[in-house]
Amino acid sequence: MSKRASAAGVGRGAFGFLAEPYLVFLIFCGIGLGTVLFRQPERLALLWATLAILGLLYHSRSDVDLAFSLTNVERGAALGLVISVPVLAFLARPLAEFNERLYLTDSVVLLFYQVCFVAAPVEEYFFRGILQARKGSSAGLACYAATALLFFLPRAPLLAALLVFVAMGVLGIVYGYVCERYGLAAAISCHVVVGFVLQVAPSLIASIRAMLA
């Protein structure tokens, strides 16, 4: 037996319980419930890091296909612009206030890193690349929407958390469609664009207005 095969066998033995996507999600939920008293920025960072680690451990047992191509990435980004720019055009100011209240930060840089460089790839990798691919689009969508409550309760008001639940449900349908049609990399690019336009750009615009005032 080769060293590579032996290492793979050890990995399967040590993390065999992670072969079930639903169990991986329940572990993630357990950590989320156990950290509700943490400050929101640190708690979100911990939850995304946990989801990334669990996703990578699952990947050690089963490959996740990115289906990467520049054409598909461009298609995902273009669709993200189409669905998000009209919302920004009419709701820039309310979105800025809403997002800053959710994330408990008014730092545009922090929002940018969290939304575009952390949340988008980590969430799409797990909810589309693993859950949707193994359990179907309905499972990926339901767990993704439910994560909104895990992320933002009890810090955010219940109504705000429910609004995010609905929004993530709608966006989950879009990301799931993009993933099925163009691949996981396209879903990630779509998520990055939507996140930037709807969560980062409103605060960026508000900051620019404040500097010019």
Domain boundaries, the chain: 3-212
| The model's pTM | 0.90
Show the DSSP H helices in the chain as ranges: 3-14, 21-34, 40-59, 70-103, 108-112, 120-126, 133-135, 137-152, 158-182, 184-195, 201-212
pLDDT for position 2? 44
pLDDT for position 14? 58
pLDDT for position 3? 43
Distances in whole angstroms, Cα of residue 151 to Cα of each of 44, 154, 168, 204: 7, 9, 12, 23
The structure tokens listed for 145 are: 């929407």
Question: Each residue's pLDDT tens digit in the chain (213 positions)?
Answer: 444 444 444 445 556 667 889 999 999 999 999 999 999 989 999 999 999 999 998 876 678 888 899 999 999 999 999 999 999 999 999 999 999 899 988 899 999 999 999 999 999 999 999 999 999 999 999 999 999 999 999 888 999 999 999 999 999 999 999 999 999 999 999 999 999 999 999 999 999 998 987
Q: Identify whether the C-beta of residue 174 lies closer than 8 Å to the C-beta of residue 137.
A: no
The structure tokens listed for 199 are: 């969560």
Give the integer Cα–Cα distance in Å for 174 and 151: 20
pLDDT for position 9? 46
Of residues 126, 1, 17, the one with CA closest to residue 61: 17
Backbone angles phi, psi at 32, to 5 degrees: -60, -45
Dihedral, 123, 128, 133, 138 alpha carbons, nearest 10: 110
pLDDT for position 1? 43
pLDDT for position 187? 98
Distances in whole angstroms, Cα of residue 108 to Cα of each of 58, 78, 163, 199: 33, 23, 22, 9
